[in-house]
Structure 1
Amino acid sequence: MLFYFYRKAKISEARLNTMFNHAPLVLIILNDKNHILKWNFEAEKTFLWKANEVLGKNVLLVVPIGEQDAVQKVFAAVHREQQVVYHENLNLKKDGQKILCEWINAPFKSQSEESNFIICMARDITEKKALEKKLEQAALYDNLTALPNRALILEKLKKALALAARNQAKLALLFCDLDGFKEVNDSLGHKAGDVLLQIVAKRLLQTIREMDDVGRLGGDEFLIILQDVGSLENAQKIVDKLCEAVAQPCQLNSEELITIHASIGVSIYPDDAIDFDALIHQSDKKMYQTKLKNKAIKNAYV
């Protein structure tokens, strides 16, 4: 009878080991010092270390130095609170490659209740996060220029206006349109027009301050947010720099070198408007007025 129970227990243990080793996610068992007691096949596949290379070692060997303090706090909380803790962190593979993993760390005690263990369940989410980032990029950023798209720049404007109101600061909204862009598209083709938009977007981004934002509304229209600008005069200085940057010659291909100019309208919060739509309308209106002036000046020299 004793032999029967012993044999049954051994079979159960064997089944458990088989399930542990062949589970489709990383399974690691740690002792109370966070040393590795068990390391399944998926852990070998994910981190490239064989079980016999890591057993008895601290699990921090798969954690970059900069992440180790945070991970140790997680394990300490599991041991102390005896609760499951979820977290994400960078991990190291044997070849030095870093991957992002999500972890579930669950406490359990030995049958004698003398030792605390942690069973760690993990999976590599590097590709998943990269895909999420690409989808976010596609949803919020312009595919051609990599600038915030219409939806994102308008959302940034709403937040910037709320911040300006809270700090009682002035904000400048610039509506930028390129003069003669249609002619470039018509004469040189849409590919050249796309290259021109990319060049202009880069120049706008490089000219504004780090605290400011620029986005593409569509076509050759851009919206620029200047935070805590102080006055219209200060905003105009930045406008002058933007116009100067845009007006630098553009090399569209091996043969074509063109010059294009920008018409920029400026509205100031709260001087010109305090309402979101009204502020955009004012900057659009002033941009159109600037475009007419630029056209008149150009015609005067023809």
Structure 2
Amino acid sequence: MSYTGPGFDPPPPPQSRRRLTVALAALVPGALLGWAVYAAVGGSGDDEGAAGAPSSAPASSRAPSPSSGSGSPSAGPEDEKPGASATAASPSASAPAASGPLKGKVVVIDPGHNPGNFRHTTEINRQVDIGTNRKECDTTGTSTNDGYTEAEFTLDVAHRMRTLLEKQGATVRLTQDADRPFGPCVDERARIGNRAKADAVVSIHADGSGTGNRGFHVILPGAVNAGAADTRPIVGSSRELGERIAGTFVRVTGSAPSNYVGGGTGLVTREDLGGLNLSTVPKVFVECGNMRDSKDAALLTSGAWRQKAAQGISGGIVSFLRE
């Protein structure tokens, strides 16, 4: 997701909320440790030049992914992540939950975009109501310079998360599993979590920012009350979910919080994303890294690192739900 559109809300001051103060106090040392590890294995990336256009490398040159979907989508900046199509489809549900600490809890994982979106540009460009205004149904997402797509990445991480969370006893649903031609649209993605009465919803993404911009960030819903959108009841719980995910992501992956948004906290608040605006249950987006930076791309295309990303995000969800 590239950020050429609306600006960001600055992170709230630490004294505004005791919980946030405690969370960030725990996050900052972890972030510094994560950055030390990150720099040791990959460097800061500050010596990189400008990003080039995505390559149309054949699928055989891409990192392996368990998801279906072939071809290279038209890359380009994306300012919104979820997507829905006009074709209704049931969300992919997990097998019956095992016993475990999360038994009885419902987690919805929202893998950003869809491998088939690039074949349906007319459908994904149609406008949908996100409460504050109207926006495109979805986008194709971004990709690495050698063609590994965001849609492939998000499905891979979602599958890994589903396995981890089911072992904890959670019932897990995916908003899409490459089981539909395109989408779903951003408004429908939000409704899937709402209808499931999910205890937590996490939308998985990877950014498409400039070279040298590195690290992860978690996008939190701002307080929106317009049209069909009213996030006020879920702002606090979503922030707690996001803080816990950010903390575990740093520790498990060794990646640092974003060096280009969030002021080093790994947390960003937005009010322009339909997937958050229309949610009535705790929900955040996780931008796992920047696909257009070669050093971040090396991590995102690594199966071993994607497993760590899945563990980091899942660990934050478990921590949030067990409180």
**TM-score with structure 2 setting the length:** 0.25
Q: Which has the higher strand share?
A: 1
Q: Larger radius of gyration, structure 1 or 2?
A: 1
**Highest RCO, 1 vs 2 (Cα 8 Å, sep ≥ 6):** 2
